[in-house]
């Protein structure tokens, strides 16, 4: 039997094909839109989380040394207990359950310390205050053990201090040094990676930003924080030849100091060159010889 309506059947087939194409396109657009929309939402959430987080440097400010915390041994300690007037202090604000940032920062810092001549406890103190007020001393003790083991110098353990405390004390220290952080919806803290070098009396001397720090920068910052009281005389002299550049985060040649050194060196060279001449001029024999006539008359 012949088909009486071939064109109608062809149109229906074409129409069905177009519907299939339309459905496939719609699905493709939906699949493409959802990840894009999800990425946009994630990006916006990240922006919102970072809002208000950062560092406002307050070099020279005095730390509130009367604040009380609990150390990794569950002992009540005042912040001032770690400032003995002799050794500088390397201060940081982190927390043990940080998903990534704190661990990376402290691991890098510990590896940097391995390549330095200065040692915790002997030359300086390390004090880390947990941002999480729910962190326990036992958890802080685990964190200390992790990094002292990584450092692989057990004799320095008394120079590492991991403190926990109440929200008001934690916030007080953070506000004093200009450290801006906040807790987000998932319970974690958003904060900048920062190490603050403090003088033996508790004054903020230098800010070191970022997840990594060069050993040379840390060496010089420690000498600066200690007001030149640690390190060899050569190291102290080399430090005096440099000044910290906050724009680059490194120490740059101190032009004024180098000019003074150059001027002093020039004076010393001139004095050393003229002293023999002055000695000859004041020698009596030299004076007699100089006063003799060039031609002696008989």
User: 31 in a domain, yes or no?
Assistant: no
Give the SS3 label for residue 175: helix
User: 12 in a domain, yes or no?
Assistant: no
* Distances from the Cα of 8 to the Cα of 13, 19, 22, angstroms: 9, 17, 21
What's the sign of the alpha-carbon dihedral 22, 24, 29, 30?
Answer: positive
pLDDT, mean over the chain: 78
Which residues are within 8 A (CB) of 152 and not within 5 positions of it... i.e. 6 or more apart?
114
Same domain, 77 and 212: yes
pLDDT 10s digits, 8-18 = 444 444 454 54
Q: Above pLDDT 90, what percent of the chain?
A: 53
Query: Tokens for 20?
Result: 């299939």
Same domain, 245 and 120: no
Counted domains in the chain: 2
CATH no. for residue 187? 3.40.30.10
* Residues 267-296, mean pLDDT to the nearest whole number: 58
Same domain, 249 and 189: no
CB 70 within 8 A of CB 77: yes
Task: Show the domain range for 266.
Answer: 241-281
Lowest mean pLDDT among 21-35, 74-88, 107-121, 277-291: 21-35
Max CA separation in the chain (angstroms): 164
Same domain, 113 and 261: no
User: 42 in a domain, yes or no?
Assistant: no
User: 40 in a domain, yes or no?
Assistant: no
Same domain, 106 and 131: yes
Q: Whose CA is closest to 223, among 247, 251, 246?
A: 251
pLDDT 10s digits, 150-179 = 999 999 999 999 999 999 999 999 999 999
Strands 89-94 and 125-130 turn out to be parallel
More confident: 161 or 248: 161
pLDDT 10s digits, 31-76 = 454 455 666 664 555 455 667 899 999 999 999 999 999 999 999 9
């Amino acid at each position: 039997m012949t088909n009486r309506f071939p064109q109608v059947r062809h149109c229906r087939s074409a129409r069905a094909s177009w519907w299939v194409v339309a459905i496939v396109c719609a699905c493709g657009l939906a699949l493409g839109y959802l990840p894009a929309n999800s990425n946009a939402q994630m990006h916006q959430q990240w922006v919102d989380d970072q809002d208000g987080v950062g560092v406002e440097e307050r070099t020279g400010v005095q730390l509130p040394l009367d604040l009380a915390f609990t150390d990794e041994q569950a002992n009540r300690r005042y912040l001032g207990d770690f400032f003995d007037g002799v050794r500088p202090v390397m201060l940081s604000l982190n927390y043990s359950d940080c998903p990534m940032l704190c661990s990376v920062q402290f691991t890098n810092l510990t590896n940097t310390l391995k390549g330095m001549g200065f040692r915790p406890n002997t030359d300086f103190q390390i004090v880390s205050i947990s941002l999480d007020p729910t962190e326990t001393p036992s958890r802080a003790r685990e964190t200390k053990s992790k990094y002292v083991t990584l450092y692989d110098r057990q004799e320095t353990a008394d120079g590492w201090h991991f403190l926990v405390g109440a929200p008001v004390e934690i916030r007080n220290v953070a506000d004093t040094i200009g450290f801006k952080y906040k807790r987000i919806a998932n319970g974690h803290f958003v904060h900048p990676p920062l190490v603050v070098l403090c003088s033996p009396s508790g004054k903020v001397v230098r800010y070191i930003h970022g997840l990594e720090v060069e050993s040379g920068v840390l060496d010089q910052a420690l000498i600066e924080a200690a007001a030149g009281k640690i390190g060899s005389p050569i190291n102290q002299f080399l430090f005096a030849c440099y000044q910290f550049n906050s724009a680059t985060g490194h120490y740059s040649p101190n032009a004024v100091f180098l000019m003074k050194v150059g001027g002093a060196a020039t004076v010393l060279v001139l004095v050393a060159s003229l002293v023999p001449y002055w000695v000859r001029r004041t020698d009596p024999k030299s004076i007699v010889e100089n006063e003799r006539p060039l031609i002696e008359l008989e």
